């Protein structure tokens, strides 16, 4: 058991990364967590690689000032477009969401017919596709950008008929072709039930869960775990509208969070 009390830094373009925080909190209750949501510049999902790299670098610099011991890039778009770059320039362990989800998908998929859904930039980057092919070059991959799902979920329309129609619209081409689907966006775990009921029998991979399992493993391997007697705390920072973040966080976590603080990066 380690004794490193420093917090874990988690960031996302906005609110969606709370799905990752929730899973990390569940598996690592003694760890302190600092969450940064770049709410002033969300969405990242339709931005260019250069812009996402710049935002990602700035977010990491912010978390480093908070003396974090490990950084989790909860955002699929940042992980797809910027992870390789920031890993080269920062020494701190940085975990993205792609590899953990891909490893799980390859493990559970029987027919190696794997679907990936995400933002426009994530799908266009082909980051999931490349990682899947690297793990199993015979796997068949079906990718689909679903740009309207994020705004729908942020509007709280997670149990509406409109959402069911949208899911059908985006996933009809994948139905019958895949046995496994990677939810390649922070927001999608919130509508996992709607997706699962449309794609009956398909194994749905929630990257948030896999990232949390990997975070634990990396802390263990590097002797970075906090002591079990550690009194953990959580801090939330956003770049715009802390009240709205607080309100949406309740939808994501089903509980109130500590008051988010407004910051500039």
Residue whose beta carbon is closest to ligand DGL: 45
Number of residues that bind ligand DGL (CB under 6 A): 18
Q: Which residues are catalytic?
A: 75, 185
Report the C-alpha dihedral over residues 233, 238, 242, 245, rounded to 10 degrees: -80
Q: Which of 75, 146, 163, 219 binds ligand DGL (CB under 6 A)?
A: 75
Q: Which of 20, 42, 123, 226 binds ligand DGL (CB under 6 A)?
A: 42
Residue 58 or 136: which CB sits closer to ligand DGL? 58
What is the layout of strands, in order, in the sheet containing 261-262?
94-95, 70-73, 8-12, 33-37, 234-238, 261-262
Cβ–Cβ under 8 Å, residues 163 and 152: yes
Q: Which of 77, 139, 180, 239 binds ligand DGL (CB under 6 A)?
A: 77
Q: Which of 19, 32, 39, 119 binds ligand DGL (CB under 6 A)?
A: 119
59 in contact with ligand DGL (CB under 6 A): no
45 in contact with ligand DGL (CB under 6 A): yes
Phi, psi at residue 95, to the nearest 5°? -110, 130
Using CB under 6 A, which residues numbered 186 to 215 contact ligand DGL? 186-187
242 in contact with ligand DGL (CB under 6 A): no
Cβ–Cβ under 8 Å, residues 182 and 128: yes
Which letter does DSSP use for residue 147 in this model?
T
Which two three-digit tokens encode residue 150? 């994020």
The region of 75-83, 127-135, 167-175, 189-197 touching ligand DGL under the rule CB under 6 A is: 75-83
> Least separation, in Å, of the C-beta of 57 and ligand DGL?
16
- List strand residue ranges (DSSP E) for the chain, in order: 8-12, 33-37, 70-73, 94-95, 113-118, 140-145, 180-184, 203-206, 234-238, 261-262
Residue 1 or 148: which CB sits closer to ligand DGL? 148
Q: Which of 9, 10, 11, 13 binds ligand DGL (CB under 6 A)?
A: 13
Using CB under 6 A, which residues numbered 137 to 156 contact ligand DGL? 150
CA 121 to chain centre: 14
122 in contact with ligand DGL (CB under 6 A): yes
Q: How many CA atoms lie within 13 A of 123 on its CB side?
A: 17
Which two three-digit tokens encode residue 263? 């910051």
Which residues make up the interface to ligand DGL (CB under 6 A)?
Answer: 12-14, 16, 42-45, 75-77, 118-119, 122, 150, 185-187
């Amino acid at each position: 058991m380690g004794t490193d009390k420093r917090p874990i830094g988690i960031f996302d373009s906005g609110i969606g990364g709370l799905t990752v925080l929730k899973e990390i909190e569940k598996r690592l209750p003694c760890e302190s967590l600092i969450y940064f949501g770049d709410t002033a510049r969300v969405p990242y999902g339709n931005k260019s690689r250069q812009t996402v790299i710049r935002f990602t670098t700035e977010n990491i610099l912010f978390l480093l000032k908070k003396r974090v011991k490990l950084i989790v890039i909860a955002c699929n778009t940042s992980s797809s477009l910027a992870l390789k770059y920031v890993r080269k320039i920062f020494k701190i362990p940085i975990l993205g969401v792609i590899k953990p989800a891909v490893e799980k998908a390859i493990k559970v998929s029987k027919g190696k017919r794997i679907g990936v859904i995400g933002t426009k930039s994530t799908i266009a980057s082909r980051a999931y596709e490349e990682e899947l092919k690297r793990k199993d070059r015979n796997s068949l991959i079906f990718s689909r950008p679903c740009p309207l799902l994020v705004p729908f979920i942020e509007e709280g329309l997670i149990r509406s008929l409109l959402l069911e129609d949208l899911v059908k619209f985006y996933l009809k081409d994948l139905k019958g072709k895949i046995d496994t689907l990677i939810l390649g966006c922070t927001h999608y775990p919130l509508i996992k039930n709607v997706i699962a009921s449309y794609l009956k029998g398909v194994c749905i991979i929630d990257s948030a869960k896999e990232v949390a399992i990997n975070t634990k493993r990396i802390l263990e391997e590097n002797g970075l775990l906090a002591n079990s007697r550690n009194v953990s705390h959580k801090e939330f920072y956003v770049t715009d509208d802390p009240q709205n973040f607080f309100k949406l966080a309740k939808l994501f976590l089903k509980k109130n969070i500590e008051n988010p603080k407004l910051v500039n990066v």
